[in-house]
Amino acid sequence: MKKPKATSSSDKKAATPPKLLVLHGPNLNLLGTREPDYYGLATLADINLALARRAAAAGVELESFQSNHEGALIERVHAAREQGVRYIIINPAAYTHTSVALRDAMAATGIPFIEVHLSNVHARESFRHHSYFSDLALGVITGLGSEGYLLALEYLLSQITTD
Ligand code: DQA
């Protein structure tokens, strides 16, 4: 009988699926009913399900987290580093334009991320034109509705396979 192959530490590493985190900022729990002309009709659950299915098909672990509280989002970013999250997709929502603290958390953990907005923030009020995140982001997708999250995920999956 053939002896079973011993598992090396590199085998174990290869068996651990890469982790991705999707962060949704304030009021995004209301998607589906919130200003559909800007944000569309997909609910947050619809978006998270589509992302989870695509990630699962690619063998990647993906968790989504939404909060209306700045501190909770910051703490989730800190936890992501402990968990070895490889990439983050973040829609900071209104915190895009206000939160130095959430920006600092992204910078401190150094996890590469893509910034996503459902609406085209540049076609809206001038206070939405500035983002505290864009200069740190790998890239920004704005105005493509819920498709934007899936496009961000596709890009990250392509990065993971070539990493
Ligand atoms: C948003 C745009 C922000 O200006 C706004 O505050 C949001 C959502 C978007 O996805 O289009 O809450 O990030």
Question: Which pLDDT does position 162 carry in this prediction?
Answer: 63
Q: Give the count of domains, the chain.
A: 1
Question: Which pLDDT does position 161 carry in this prediction?
Answer: 78
Question: Which pLDDT does position 10 carry in this prediction?
Answer: 46
Residue 3 lies in a domain: no
Q: pLDDT for 52-75, tens place per residue?
A: 999 999 999 999 999 999 999 999
Which residues are marked as active site? 39, 117
- The residue contributing the CA closest to ligand 1 atom 7 is 93
* Residue 27 beta carbon below 6 angstroms from any ligand 1 atom: yes
H or E, element range at 156: helix 147-162
What CATH number does the domain containing 41 carry?
3.40.50.9100
Residue 5 lies in a domain: no
Question: Which pLDDT does position 65 carry in this prediction?
Answer: 98
Distance 3 CA to ligand 1 centre (A): 57
- The residue contributing the CA closest to ligand 1 atom 12 is 93
Domain carrying residue 38: 16-162
Residue 9 lies in a domain: no
Question: Which pLDDT does position 11 carry in this prediction?
Answer: 47
The proportion of the chain whose per-residue pLDDT surpasses 90, expressed as a percent, equals: 88
